[in-house]
């Protein structure tokens, strides 16, 4: 892995005002970005057994993601093929064998096939095989669920590229989710994404965090493309980013001394962030609601053994990051207010903001693609 410090090799500026305030650009982002890339939906253990399902909103579309009898994960538009009624109203649940439309009882197996259509037996031109649920690409990676609304998306492993085998020693797939917090932020989603990609703001905005990890200690190995990031160093040995500064969970795996001194931060375009510490992981999912509003879901994942280990308190990690998150969301809201002004013009990036410039390049290239 080729880790290097933040270095910007050529002049780059922030995005123009319209990218943060234009409803037309926001609508285009929904189609070109959020309907065409892999979007994380949370942990796979939310649908652990056959028949377990969750409903999720992606780019304004309601989807049903279900574990099949064969153990595979499948996703479908939450739309009955009869008259378009929404099949599932609940955010999650379990069905024995089939989803039943609440309107006219058309029923669909866990593979999406239409298995029953009352009152259609006398329709000679009707064939059940012609009316399965419309499917959506779904896949799992390291215990996380992803979907893609695109017609022919690249495989998830290909899209994640260099992250595919990055965290083998951490054994992320076996982690248990301890806490989930949802936030609503009055800021454009890109401001939230860009905020994750630099820590120049850490001393003034996150003084507690800055004492535990030097904001100048960062080094990145993924510096261009849809996956960006690297690591920052922990100040103390056997420390972590917690309210006490000590580890609040058991080590995630058989980590080297070097790995136990690092916190890894990776962003996956367009809406997923991983913060991987020696003793826990914080995953962050970002969903745009409006041009100036975003929904963020953070979850904290620990080894199952941590939950029964005396003397360890996962809430120490959750508390520090919840405070840090709220500080970030506040500064993002101030940024939204500022870039909305007629006085705002694109500003110059420093050499320490190379990942922000890389995000902008990926974003603009995606927006320029033809439908």
pLDDT at 93: 97
**Burial bucket for residue 122 (CB in 10 Å: 0-12, 13-18, 19+):** exposed
Q: Are residues 269 and 326 in the same domain?
A: yes
Residue 7 lies in a domain: no
Q: Are residues 173 and 285 in the same domain?
A: yes
pLDDT at 115: 98
CA gap 10, 353 in Å, rounded: 11
pLDDT at 4: 84
Residue 6 lies in a domain: no
Q: Are residues 302 and 196 in the same domain?
A: yes
Residue 4 lies in a domain: no
Q: Which helix (H) or strand (E) holds 202?
A: helix 202-205
Single out the residue in 93, 125, 152 at which a domain terminates.
152
CA gap 202, 4 in Å, rounded: 20
- Is the Cβ–Cβ distance between 141 and 156 less than 8 Å? yes
Residue 244 lies in a domain: yes
Q: Are residues 104 and 195 in the same domain?
A: no
CA gap 87, 85 in Å, rounded: 6
The per-residue b/e assignment along 332-367, b for 16 or more CB within 10 angstroms, e otherwise, is bbebbeebeeeebeeeebeebbbbbbbbbebbeebe
- The full length of the chain comes to 371
CA gap 32, 51 in Å, rounded: 32
- Is the Cβ–Cβ distance between 302 and 280 less than 8 Å? yes
Residue 266 lies in a domain: yes
Single out the residue in 103, 128, 152 at which a domain terminates.
152
CA separation, residue 70 to residues 84, 110, 123, 162 (Å)? 28, 10, 33, 29
Kindly report the CATH number assigned to the domain that includes residue 223.
Answer: 3.90.380.10
The torsion of the CA quartet 249, 163, 30, 11, rounded to 10 degrees, works out to 110
Q: Are residues 142 and 231 in the same domain?
A: no
Q: Are residues 132 and 27 in the same domain?
A: no
Q: Are residues 144 and 196 in the same domain?
A: no
- Is the Cβ–Cβ distance between 66 and 52 less than 8 Å? yes
Q: Are residues 52 and 175 in the same domain?
A: no
Q: Are residues 330 and 347 in the same domain?
A: yes
pLDDT at 40: 98
Q: Are residues 253 and 113 in the same domain?
A: no
- Is the Cβ–Cβ distance between 333 and 340 less than 8 Å? no
Single out the residue in 107, 123, 152 at which a domain terminates.
152
What is the SS3 assignment for 371?
coil
Residue 8 lies in a domain: no
pLDDT in tens, the chain (371 residues): 788 877 788 999 999 999 999 999 999 999 999 999 999 999 999 999 999 999 999 999 999 999 999 999 999 999 999 999 999 999 999 999 999 999 999 999 999 999 999 999 999 999 999 999 999 999 999 999 999 999 999 999 999 988 988 899 999 999 999 999 999 999 999 999 999 999 999 999 999 999 999 999 989 999 999 999 999 999 988 899 999 999 999 999 999 999 999 999 999 999 999 999 999 999 999 999 999 999 999 999 999 999 899 989 999 999 999 999 999 999 999 999 999 999 999 999 999 899 999 999 999 999 998 76
Q: Are residues 286 and 211 in the same domain?
A: yes
Q: What's the total number of domains in the chain? A: 2
Residue 52 lies in a domain: yes
Q: Which helix (H) or strand (E) holds 332?
A: helix 315-339
CA gap 2, 117 in Å, rounded: 57
pLDDT at 162: 86
Residue 11 lies in a domain: no
What is the SS3 assignment for 177?
strand
pLDDT at 108: 98
Kindly report the CATH number assigned to the domain that includes residue 128.
Answer: 2.102.10.10
Q: Are residues 219 and 338 in the same domain?
A: yes
Residue-range definition of the domain harbouring residue 77: 39-152
- Is the Cβ–Cβ distance between 274 and 265 less than 8 Å? yes
């Amino acid at each position: 892995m080729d880790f290097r410090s933040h270095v910007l090799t050529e002049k780059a500026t922030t995005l123009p005002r319209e990218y943060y305030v234009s409803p037309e650009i926001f609508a285009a982002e929904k189609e070109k970005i959020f309907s065409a890339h892999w979007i994380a939906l949370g942990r796979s253990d939310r649908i652990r057994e056959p028949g377990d399902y969750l409903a999720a909103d992606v780019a304004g579309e309601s989807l049903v993601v279900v574990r099949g009898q064969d153990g595979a994960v499948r996703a479908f538009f939450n739309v009955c093929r009869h008259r378009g009624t929404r099949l599932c109203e609940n955010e999650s649940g379990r069905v024995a064998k089939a989803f039943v439309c609440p309107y006219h009882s058309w029923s669909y197996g866990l593979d999406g096939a239409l298995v029953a259509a009352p009152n259609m037996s006398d329709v000679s031109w009707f064939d059940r095989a012609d009316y399965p649920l419309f499917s959506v690409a779904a896949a799992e990676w390291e215990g996380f669920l992803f979907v893609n609304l695109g017609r022919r998306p690249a495989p998830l492993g290909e899209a994640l590229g260099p992250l595919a085998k990055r965290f083998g020693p951490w054994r992320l797939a076996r982690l248990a989710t301890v806490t989930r917090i949802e936030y609503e932020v009055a800021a454009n989603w890109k401001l939230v994404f860009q905020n994750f990609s630099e820590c120049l703001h850490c001393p003034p905005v996150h003084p507690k965090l800055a004492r535990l990890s030097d904001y100048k200690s960062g080094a990145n190995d993924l510096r261009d493309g849809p996956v960006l990031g690297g690591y920052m160093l922990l100040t103390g040995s056997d420390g972590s980013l917690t309210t006490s500064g000590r580890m609040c969970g058991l080590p995630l795996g058989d980590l080297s001394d070097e790995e136990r001194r690092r916190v890894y931060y990776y962003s996956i375009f367009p809406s997923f962030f991983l913060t991987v510490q020696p003793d826990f992981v914080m995953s962050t999912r970002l969903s745009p609601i409006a041009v100036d509003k975003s929904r963020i879901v953070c979850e904290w994942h620990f080894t199952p053994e941590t939950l029964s280990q005396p003397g360890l308190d996962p809430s120490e990690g959750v508390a520090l990051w919840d405070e840090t998150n709220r500080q970030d969301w506040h500064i993002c809201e101030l940024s939204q207010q500022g870039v909305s002004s007629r006085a705002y013009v694109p500003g110059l990036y420093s050499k320490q903001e190379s990942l922000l410039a890389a995000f902008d390049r990926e974003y603009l290239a995606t927006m320029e693609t033809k439908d």
